[in-house]
Structure 1
Amino acid sequence: MGAKGNHTMLTMSGTHPLIGAAREWLAALQRCVRAVDYAGARPLFAPEVQGFGTHAAIVDGRDALEHEQWGQIWPTIREFTFRLAEVHCAGGDDLLGVIVPWDSLGAGPDGTSFPRPGRATLILARRDGRWVAIHSHFSLAPSGR
């Protein structure tokens, strides 16, 4: 617990409503990634989101995140799936940290599929009654894990 004492650590087996909110947000993003639906994903992220990932260094803003990360990855993968049963969360009613592994399939130069496991860290803020990401980090899992 932090100095304010108003943050709760919620684990993967938790039934707390915030775990449910995180899973709903992740499921919505998963649908967008699978459909390569940038327009559908934009409302899930704050305009001032900061993030980074496999292709993007630190980027400021939703437009930059879409161009430098989403646009480089989403069209090249298939079957993107968050492991929703393994979600870890910490936070409170207005700010929520989310850690979750994910899986996808990539394609080699010869078209052969290969597994692309990874992990994500997100910070979600409640705005106007809905959760939006103010930070996102997506990266591939370390080799051999």
Structure 2
Amino acid sequence: MAVKAGTPVAPEDIALIRDWFARLAEHVRAVDFAPARALFAEDFIAFGTHTDFMNGRDNAEANQWRRVWPTIDGFTWRLDGVQAVVSPDRLHATGMAVWDSTGYREDGSPFDRLGRATVTFARETIGDPWVATHTHMSLFRGTPEVSHGRKPSRS
């Protein structure tokens, strides 16, 4: 049997992956870090526009989330376009999605802040919510790397 990335994904698995992305977007828009932590394994590995590899949820929150979330508005995933590859045992998956948001230049003028993400997920039992074990989030080419908005955090 040849390995294929396009193996059909169970509808309930892709629904739970979309749900993960939707819940993360809610926390980003609310600048609410505390409840977002439950979406990520404590020892997950991340990297993105602002940081190299980071080990651990606390490290990612301090060096990625807190640098970005308070500076942007309207963070939304394009949920209809989410793609996924799920392992045959349905306990590991990779989800890919594109986001839209608004960033702000130093003078306060807005710009489209678009990007994409690859997220690896794991869970202990089929049907459980997915938990991120790795994230790679990056801006589309030509998008300013820094947003200068300032919103207070909820947590």
Instruction: Normalising by structure 1, report the TM-score.
Output: 0.88
Contact 2:16 2:129 survives alignment (8 Å): no
Aligned to 1:83: 78
Cα distance in structure 1, aligned partners of 2:10 and 2:113? 29
Cα distance in structure 1, aligned partners of 2:58 and 2:96? 23
Aligned residues: 138
Q: Residues 44-83 of structure 1, C-alpha deviation per residue, up to 9 Å, x if partnerless?
A: 0000100101111100000001011001100100000000
Aligned to 1:125: 122
Aligned-pair identity in percent equals: 41
Shifted more, 119-128 versus 95-104: the winner is: 119-128
Decide which structure has greater strand share. 1
Q: Which has the higher contact order (CA 8 A, sep 6+)?
A: 2
Cα distance in structure 1, aligned partners of 2:113 and 2:17? 22
Aligned to 2:7: 9
Root mean square deviation of aligned Cα: 1.9
Contact 2:24 2:39 survives alignment (8 Å): yes
Deviation at 1:20, TM superposition (A): 0.5
Deviation at 1:109, TM superposition (A): 1.1
Task: Could you tell me which runs of 5 or more consecutive residues in structure 2 were left unpaired when the two chains were aligned.
Answer: 144-155
Deviation at 1:135, TM superposition (A): 0.2
Aligned to 1:47: 42
Q: 1:9 to 1:100 in 2, by over 3 A?
A: farther
Aligned to 1:68: 63
1:105 lines up with 2:102 in the alignment:
yes
- Please identify runs of 4+ aligned residues in structure 1 that moved more than 2 A: 7-10, 127-130
Q: 1:112 to 1:15 in 2, by over 3 A?
A: farther
Deviation at 1:8, TM superposition (A): 6.0
Task: Could you tell me which runs of 5 or more consecutive residues in structure 1 were left unpaired when the two chains were aligned.
Answer: none
